[in-house]
Structure formats: structure tokens, C-alpha cells
Amino acid sequence: MVNVTLKADSNQGLINRNIYGHFSEHLGRCIYEGIWVGEDSPIPNTEGIRNDVLTALQKLNIPVLRWPGGCFADEYHWKDGVGPLSERARMINTNWGGVEENNHFGTHEFLRLCELLGTEPYISGNVGSGTVQEMQQWVEYMTFDGESPMANWRKSNGREKPWKLTYFGVGNENWGCGGNMRAEYYADEYRRYATYVRNYSDNQIYKIACGPNEDNYHWTEVLMREAHQHMSGLSLHYYTLPTGVWQDKGEATGFNESDWFQTLKRTLHMEELIVKHSEIMDKYDPECKVGLIIDEWGTWYNVEPGTNPGFLYQQNTMRDALVAGINLNLFNKYNKRVQMANLAQIVNVLQALVLTEGEKMILTPTYHVFDMYQVHMDAERLELDYESPGYTFGEDTIPQLSLSASRDQEGVIHVTACNLSHTDELEVVCQLQATDSSVASGRILHHGEIGAFNTFEQPENVTPSEWKGVTLENGQLRFVLPPASVGVIAIKA
Amino acid sequence: MNSRLSMETGQKSERSLCKGCDDQYDVQISEAKLARLVELASRSRPVVADAEYERRLSSCYSCPALQYGSTCRYCGCLVQVRAKLLDSTCPFPYNSRWI
């Protein structure tokens, strides 16, 4: 049993809803077939966007969606992707193994998707192979409400009014596919490019600089030292691999208990990365004006056997549900500095929310975690005091319990909880301080097998259910987390 | 999304030499590799007879959804592997081309 104290009067600041954001790259079947099927497709669609995926994603109230990459952004030239479909340039996506790109899903289509989802667009601009002028014109095309060559071109392409665009990435992974730059060089390039990412009309851009990969603290140091006055956010990329080895990452399914443990241990490394990068950011920005934007995170496994390796298609099990729950709890915990996070990726690629096959679509365990956790969006984080029991496997020990708590705008307190142990349930007794709430109910995502997943034949093998046994009496909340489970509890007056 | 990780010097450690700087993400699959993947898949799962395999593949090769000579756009599968396995179905929307 573990004792927890939840301080209901401890306002720890807002949990930015953008922590629950997503990422959509032109890669494999994320965009094409996953989101975009075109108006002529037999698959029911709205202006080319498939309806089943749209409906599923609308239920998550996705706050922000990043596009078009990733590495794809490093070679994306936006002018190829506007105007009549039949006249759009065809190209080869060299970053992803030579995938053909017909540019049918471009700026108008992405921004229409965001409108249909009710989500904020986050566009990643091309510093690696693009020009300052190209980037300046893209922002002008999208946001200028006046007379200009780009605004007039937008109007001639069917969009009279500009879009509202807040989030703009000035480069992507410029330490790698975005130009193999040194931090010192990119810092100067960032300053130059960002200068011309203008605020047209009344549109205000939140500029996001390319930040570090994993534990590249030197990158953070240089970017903050040289350019923090010119940025609103700094990105961080960290992927969870069961093996930690890129050439053989481990399998998405059929894994053993050791793989389970090692994956969760590696995903917990996210906390060290947030803390250490934040310490550097604190030196130059003690008031936390610059957000840490974790705009690529999630699991990365070997591709599903028998699928094209360039498509990065993997299955999604209870293990992914735990990875999602643990990381989202961490992002909540560090809400002062972490202002956005984007799971990679939204459909059919890496740790996807939904998978498609022809006209079929299934929801993944990760989808269900995001559905359960959306209660934290824009809620006040509440302090939790507890000491987690250890979860030991072999000679390694990690915490067994991961928790978050917040109070939403209606006064409802929500607690999200993960039991990392693959064998042991965990009883939790939580003292609620400074609240007279008396009713608690919950939902739990759990399956008897840690490797359980949904298939097109069994789409509801892993789904949340009512969490029986959650009680609240005399200010004491009690619940039992089954092994390998993720739960959410609502506490009301 | 990083397909070719930084070769940056300085603070980067040796372990981050590469996420994918070999050919593991190429969408073009060699015939030899395809044959090996079909053979691997055949070891652990029931397969169809040769005639049925050829019939299915024939449909795939004439299908507008075939990409790169190997890949079905609707499921991302290598058709040579998918067609070989007994339990497979054709994912063409609403209208299997294997029937």
C-alpha cells in the first residue's frame, strides 16, 4: 500500500492544454491514407479527410497539431503544396527512403484539418534546405490580412481571409536532418530566420527554436545563451526504445517482461532530461518565459513484420499506454517549464493514436490514455506528496507508481495514475486535504496481458472500463491499481 | 522525426551516431530481401499453396494501390509477404481484389 496526500488548495499553475498535442509528418501512411484519402476515395471523407479518423480525433479535443515534419519539413517547399491539385509538384521524400510525395495535402488541407479538429496548427518551417524568403513568404501567405503578393495568391487559391497561426517552428532537428549544424551556427541562423517570421495584421507568432536531441545539453546552453530573447519556445526530442539501440530497437508486440521493464525505465529518463535542460534554461530565463516544447516523443520499435520499413508502422500495446501515461504525468509535473508536447505520431506511424487499413480504423491503447487524461487540459495542477514503492526487475528498481492531479474549471479534481509493475497490484490511500469533495468515480485501462493490443479483427480488446472499488469516505480516497494499468479518477462535491 | 542523426562533434557522445543512416528506412526493397522476408514469415505462420499465392500476387501487381513494386498503400504491407500468409485479406476498401 502507498500513502498519498493530495493538497487541494495547492495551486501549482495551469497545465497547458498543449501538453496533449500531436505530431503529423509526411511519413509512411500518417498523412496519405491515414488522414488524407482525397475527395474521390470510396472511404467516406470531408473534403478529402477521412471521416472515421476525424471523428475519433475530434473526441480527444486535440489542442495543437504539428506538421509537416519532422525531417520532411527540412526538405519541404510549401509553394509545391498550394494551388490546384493537378498542378502541384511531385517529389521524392528523400528523408524517408524515397517515398513519393504528390503534395495533395498542403497548407490549405492541413489548416482545414485543424479547423475540422478545432485544433491549433503548429507549422514547422524549413531552415535546413529552405530560405529566409521562403519562410517569410509562407507566414505572409497564411496570416497577412491585406494586399501583398502572397496574400493575393492565397485569395486566388480560394482562401479570402487569413488563418490564425500561433505556433511556428523555425527549423527542425537542425543538429541532424535539418542541416547537421553546430549549435553555434544554428543559433545565428535561428536569429536570422526568426527575424523574418513576422506578426502580420493582428496575428502573433509563438516562435519555437530547434532544441536539443535527448541529452545534448551543450545545444541547450548555446541556444539559450545566444538566442533566448528571440524565441518563445525551445524544442526537445526524445524517443523511447526498449533496447536503446537504433539499429535494433526491439519489437512492438511479443515482448517479454524484461522488455516491458526496460522500456518503462527508459521512458522515465524523460524526467532527467526535463530537469537538466530546465536547469540550463533557468540560468538564462529564470522567469520561465521560454517554454520547453517536447515536440517529438513516444515509442519507436522495429517496424511491424511484413510492412514496408520506410513507413515506420508499429502496433501499440498496453506498454504504450503506460509510456503515454507516465510521460503525460511528467509533463504535468513540470508544467511551469513544459508548455507543449507532441506525440509522434498521430496516425499509422510510431506510437499512433489510431491505425487504419483500407476503410477500417482502430483505436489504440494510447488513444484511450489521451482520452482519459484530457481532463488535465488547462486545469490547475495540484500537489501530490507520496513516496512510490519500488518496482524491481533483476537488479534494477524504478518507481511503481506515477501520479498527477489537477482541478478543472468546474472545480472537479482529477487524478491520473499508472501502475508500472507487470505483476503486482497497488493499493493507494490518498488523503484529500482542503476539500470537502465526497464523490469519486473512475475509469481504468487494464488487460490481463501486458502485450495486449487491438486489431482490425478485435478492435476492442483493450478499452477502458468503469473502475470499480474507487471509494471516497471522510476525505480518504482509496483505490487499487491492477498490474500494468492506467486509471483516471474524478472527485466531485 | 530524425531519420539521419547528427554527426555533430563536440558534446555529442558516440552512442548517437545514427538513428537510421543505413538503408533500413528505404521504401525500395530488393528482390533478395523480399524473398528473405517471405521466407521468414512463412516459418511461423500458415501459408497458402503456390497457386493461390500467385493468384493473389497477380491481383496485387495489377492493383493501382501498389507502391514501389512491393507495398500496398492501404495497409503498408509488403504484398509478397501478405499474399503468402493464409489468414491475410486484401485491404482494398470495401472490395477485396483477391476474391
What are A276-286's pLDDT values in tens digits?
A: 999 999 999 99
Rounded alpha-carbon distances, angstroms, from residue A275 to A25, A268, A446:
28, 12, 30
Point out the residue among B24, B37, B92 whose CB comes nearest to the CB of A306. B37
d(CA A362, CA A346): 13
C-alpha cell at A239: 524517443
| A379 Cα distance to chain centroid | 18
Residues in chain A closer than 8 A to B3 (CB atoms): 71, 95-97, 177
How far is the C-alpha of A470 from the C-alpha of B46, rounded, in Å? 46
Residue B24 has pLDDT above 90, yes or no: no
Cα(A53)–Cα(A41) distance, integer angstroms: 14
Please, which pLDDT band fits residue A97 given cuts at 50, 70 and 90?
confident
**What residues in A contact B74, CB-CB < 8 Å?**
33, 357-358
**A172-191 average pLDDT score:** 96
Check if the beta carbon of residue A439 is closer than 8 Å to that of residue A487: no
Pairing of strands A99-101, A49-50: unpaired
Q: Mean of the pLDDT values across residues A108-117?
A: 98
Active-site residue, A173 included: yes
Is B1 close to A345, i.e. CB distance below 8 A? Answer: yes
pLDDT class of A94 with cuts at 50, 70, 90: confident
pLDDT, one tens digit per residue, over A465-476 is 999 999 999 999
By DSSP bridging, strand A465-466 and strand A439-445 are antiparallel
Dist CA A15 CA B57 (whole Å): 52
Write the DSSP assignment of A428-462 as a string of letters: EEEEEES----EEEEEEE--SSTT-B--SSSTTSS
- pLDDT tier, A100 (very low <50, low <70, confident <90, very high otherwise): confident
CA-based nearest distance B44→chain A, Å:
12
Predicted pLDDT of residue B6: 37
Nearest chain B residue (CA) to A214: B16
Q: Which of B4, B74, B94 sits opposite A357 (nearest CB)?
A: B74
Is the pLDDT score of A374 beyond 90?
Answer: yes
Parallel, antiparallel, or unpaired: how do β-strands A401-407 and A413-419 relate? antiparallel
**Section B56-64 average pLDDT:** 97
Q: What is the mean pLDDT of residues A290-308?
A: 97
Chain B residues 25-84 with CB within 8 Å of chain A: 25-29, 37, 40-41, 67-68, 70-71, 73-78, 81-82
Q: Which residue is associated with the grid cell 533566448?
A: A228
**A218 to B10: CB separation less than 8 angstroms, yes or no:** yes
The total of other beta-carbon atoms located within 10 Å of residue A9's CB is 10
Beta strands in chain B (DSSP E): 66-67, 71-72
d(CA A105, CA A85): 9
Say how many C-beta atoms besides its own lie within 10 A of residue A153's C-beta: 16
Which residues does chain B have within 8 Å of residue A176's beta carbon, measured at their own beta carbons? 2, 4-6, 8
Residue A226 phi/psi, 5-degree rounding, is: -95, -20
Q: Given a cut of 70, is residue B3 above it in pLDDT?
A: no
Q: Is pLDDT above 50 for B14?
A: no
Per cent of chain B over pLDDT 70 is 77
Q: Which of A140, A173, A189, A251 is catalytic?
A: A173
Q: Which residue's C-alpha cell is 498535442? A: A21
Per-residue pLDDT of A351-369, as tens digits, reads 999 999 999 999 999 999 9
B75-79 average pLDDT score: 97
pLDDT tens digits, one per residue of A133-167: 999 999 999 999 999 999 999 999 999 999 999 99
Instruction: Supply the pTM of this predicted model.
Output: 0.95
Indicate if the pLDDT at residue B23 is higher than 90.
Answer: no
Q: What is the per-residue burial (b if ≥16 Cβ within 10 Å, else e) of A350-359?
A: bbbbbbbbbb
A-B C-beta contacts closer than 8 Å? 137
- Please report, rounded to a whole number, the percentage of residues in chain A having pLDDT higher than 90: 96
Q: What is the mean pLDDT of residues B49-76?
A: 96
Q: Do residue B3 and residue A219 have CB atoms under 8 angstroms apart?
A: no
Determine, for residues B76 and A308 on separate chains, whether the beta-carbon distance falls below 8 Å.
yes
| Average pLDDT score, chain A | 97
Give the C-alpha distances (Å, rounded to integers) separating A94 from A32, A38, A308, B44. 17, 23, 15, 34
Computed from CA positions of residues A88, A122, A46, B97, in that sequence, does the dihedral angle turn out positive or negative?
A: positive
Which of A181, A247, A344 is closest, CB to CB, to B1?
A: A344
